[in-house]
């Protein structure tokens, strides 16, 4: 019996869009994954973790990805341009969100929220 093939681009997309609730971990490891449930419990804090995991998943080379997630699927991964575009988008949105969060924290810390 062959196992299902886990698509790296789809896993990266899930981590980018729904990483805060651990959708990528449920896709890769199923409902028994404790880290996925931790994402669900700590949703606001795990949004940035989703961006980081999207980068880690997307930057993993195809051979190690297949060895880890697709050992018995009988298929090989071939990442292409959609993954590269998704990685650039992830980096841009993640960095913007991080800078905006830091700016808001400093605003609250030093002005008591006078600018927002």
What pLDDT digit, counting tens, does each position of 30-86 carry?
999 999 999 999 988 899 999 999 999 999 999 999 999 999 888 999 999 999 999
Structural domain for 99, as ranges:
8-111
Whether 73 is covered by a domain: the verdict is yes
In a domain, 2, yes or no: no
Inside any domain, residue 25: yes
Q: How many domains is the chain built from?
A: 1
Alpha helices, DSSP H, located in 8-80: 8-18, 23-29, 34-41, 43-59, 62-69
pTM: 0.89
Domain membership of residue 40 (yes or no) is: yes
| 34 occurs within a structural domain | yes
Assess if residue 100 is contained within a domain.
Answer: yes
Residue 14 within any structural domain of the chain: yes
Considering the chain, what is the average pLDDT of its residues? 93
By residue count, the chain amounts to 116
Please check whether residue 1 lies inside any domain of the structure.
Answer: no
């Amino acid at each position: 019996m062959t196992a299902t093939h886990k698509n790296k681009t789809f896993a990266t997309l899930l981590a980018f869009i729904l990483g805060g609730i651990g959708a990528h971990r449920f896709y890769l490891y199923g409902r028994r994954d404790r880290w996925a449930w931790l994402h669900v419990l700590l949703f606001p804090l795990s949004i940035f973790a989703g961006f980081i995991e999207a980068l880690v998943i997307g930057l993993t080379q195809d051979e190690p990805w297949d060895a880890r997630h697709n050992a018995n699927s009988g298929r090989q991964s071939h990442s292409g341009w959609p993954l590269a575009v998704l990685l650039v988008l992830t980096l841009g949105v993640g960095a913007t969100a991080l800078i905006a969060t830091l700016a808001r924290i400093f605003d609250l810390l030093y002005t008591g929220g006078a600018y927002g």
